[in-house]
Amino acid sequence: MAKTILEMDNITKTFPGVKALDNVNFKVEEGEIHFLVGENGAGKSTLMKVLSGVYPYGEYEGDIVYQGKVQQFHKINDSVDVGIAIIYQELALFPDLSVYENIYIGNEVKHNGIINWNQTIVKAKDMLKKVNLKVKPETLIKDLGVGKQQLIEIAKALSKEVKLLILDEPTAALNEDDSENLLELIKELKKQGITCIMISHKLKEVVAIADKATILRDGQTICTLEKAKGEIDEKTIIRHMVGREMNQIYPKRENHEIGDTILELKNWSAYDGQLGRHVVKNADLKLNRGEIIGISGLMGAGRTELALSMFGNPKNYKLKGDLVLNQQPVHFKHTSDAIKAGMAYVTEDRKGNGLFLLQNITKNVSASKLQGIAHHGIINNNEEIKIAEHYKNSLHIKASSIEQLVGKLSGGNQQKVSLGKWLFAGPNILILDEPTRGIDVGAKFEIYTVMNELVEKGLSIIMISSELGEVLGMSDRVYVMAEGEIKGELDSQSADQEKIMELATQ
């Protein structure tokens, strides 16, 4: 029986209004590869942040027992000092510094405060050998691919004499070869006695290299599967991941007629020059009049990117393939073209790129169709007020008045303002990106009701959502994305949580 290296007992972590972790128990034995699996928002990353001290001692309840001792990490360095290293999905490297500088940053090879660069380079070479990476230590990070950067991160962790290595979705941004490489390396590290916790959405990987897999769902530990007992296979994992009861009620649509195809994507690809990879690959998709289609998938599957690439391409992706609107191929040069063509996009990140937080409700609602309230470029304030009042009442936005700053509203009401803003633009096609993220049940129901009213009027809706219940409850058809590709299409009768998750974790 191997020694237990880490035990997290009854960890509870609450954010305002949400219990992100609810009495989670998590046990890792020395020298094993242990996967954490769960849907978006299941609490995996939060648990790892508790472990690494991002959420310091006192902000959570429960105990962390590491190497037989109860630990109290007050800051990230406390966990680093005892040999815990975490590598996030977004790499924390300095692109303009060299490989050796990156490996030893914060952990410099120094004598009386003076850095010994020559020794640093020698040591860095050793570390690079350990991760099987053949690059010169002088290479700048920005000149390396993502796969190699990932390895540099690991080398950096190794240089700190790590005992417990945590990787948060390390292969999400990697191609097949690089992923393979990384998994091999992790097996190699296991032989050297390093314990590894991995968060991953790719179940193939779990099946391939996991010794154990703990499944989280809605902030609770569901079970731990063991390879030794033959428990780790994709079906079993999926069953445990999604086994949620459908307790949310979705309003039913009345006389709901589906018309002709209004939007079609043919072999649609988007290449992100900055990331140096395709964020959308060969997507084929159809949207009919009066229809709600759901786009499901896990984080990083390329759903938001798909929406942006259709909606005037604000991120300047290199696009390939056809976007067909009402049987006419279209090329949008700017988001304003997409809006003119009858599209609207309610963003995932309300505060970041959806709303003008320092402006009031009135100005937010009118922002995407200013010419609609203006005559010869001069704004008719009375008209604007009428429209803002209209949406405040019809969407039940709770605010003291339409002059209230949007930044001071609750999440649900902000979402309604965002929705109102786009309804005012008068679209035929409404793209909703995570329309109910972070809002309460009552507001969710109201938004669903509005969605139903809209499709009854003949609008078409593309709903991007990570909530399986919502996707199943609201969509006529579901597309599932993973790694930028559409992995499958399901109709509302045949779709269920297991099928979606199977496609999403390919």
Footprint of another protein (CB under 8 A): 311-312, 314, 334-336, 338-340, 345, 347, 352-359, 363, 366-368, 370-371, 374, 377-379, 381-382, 385-386, 389, 401, 403, 407, 421, 425
Shortest CB 45 distance to another protein, Å: 24
Nearer to another protein, 212 or 363 (CB): 363
Nearer to another protein (CB atom), residue 113 or residue 377: 377
CB 37 within 8 A of CB 241: yes
Q: Minimal distance in Å, beta carbon 169 to another protein?
A: 25
274 is written with which tokens?
A: 């900055």
Dihedral pair phi/psi, residue 189, rounded to 5°: -65, -35
Instruction: Give ∠ CA 21-8-189 in degrees, rounded to 5.
Output: 115
Minimum CB–partner distance for residue 413 and another protein (Å): 17
Instruction: Categorise residue 375: left if φ over 0, alpha if ψ from -120 to 50, beta otherwise.
Output: beta
Distance from C-alpha of 152 to C-alpha of 91, rounded to nearest angstrom: 10
Query: Which amino acid appears at position 289 of this protein?
Result: R
- Residue 48 has which token pair? 């790892």
Distance, C-alpha 165 to centroid of its chain: 22
Nearest approach, Cβ of 378 to another protein (angstroms)? 5
**In sequence order, what are the beta bridge partners of 462?**
293, 431
The nearer residue to another protein, 363 or 437, going by C-beta atoms, is 363
Please report how close the Cβ of residue 155 comes to another protein at its closest, in angstroms: 33
* Shorter beta-carbon distance to another protein: residue 60 or 311: 311
Shortest distance in whole angstroms from residue 350 CB to another protein: 9
Of 107 and 401, the one with the shorter C-beta distance to another protein is 401
Nearest residue (CB) to another protein, 256 versus 334: 334
Contacts by residues 309-316 (CB-CB < 8 Å, ≥ 24 positions apart): 309/268, 309/270, 309/279, 309/280, 310/263, 310/265, 310/268, 310/338, 310/343, 310/431, 311/335, 311/338, 311/343, 311/345, 311/431, 312/336, 312/337, 312/338, 312/339, 313/270, 315/272, 316/273
Q: How far is the CB of 352 from another protein (least distance, A)?
A: 7
Least CB distance to another protein at residue 144 (A): 24
Nearer to another protein, 168 or 433 (CB): 433
CB of 94 to another protein, least distance (A): 20
| Collapsed DSSP state (helix, strand, coil) of residue 364 | helix
Q: Residue 252 Cβ, how far from another protein at the closest point, in Å?
A: 32
Tell me how far, at minimum, the Cβ of 393 lies from another protein, in Å: 12
Closest CB to another protein among residues 3, 331: 331
**Pick from 267, 257, 359, 357: which is nearest to 320 by CA?**
267
Three-state DSSP class for 342?
coil
DSSP symbol at 320? E
Q: How far is the CB of 339 from another protein (least distance, A)?
A: 4
Tell me the C-alpha distance between 97 and 138, whole Å.
Answer: 9
> Which residue, 55 or 424, is less far from another protein as judged by CB?
424
Q: Which amino acid is at 301?
A: A
Residue number with CB closer to another protein (77 or 336): 336
Contacts of 278 (CB under 8 A, 6+ apart): 269, 270, 271, 272, 484
Task: Quote the CA–CA distance of 484 and 66 in Å, as a whole number.
Answer: 38
Nearer to another protein, 54 or 374 (CB): 374
Q: Which of 433, 235, 214, 237 is nearest to 344 (CA)?
A: 433
Pick between residue 407 and residue 442 the one whose CB is nearest to another protein.
407
- Residue 9's DSSP bridge partners are 63
Question: What secondary structure letter does DSSP report for 91?
Answer: -
Q: Are 259 and 458 in contact (CB under 8 A)?
A: yes
State the Rg of the chain over Cα.
25
CB of 321 to another protein, least distance (A): 22
Q: How many CA atoms lie within 13 A of 33 on its CB side?
A: 23
HSE at residue 25, side-chain half, CA atoms within 13 A, is 5
CB nearer another protein, residue 56 or residue 438:
438
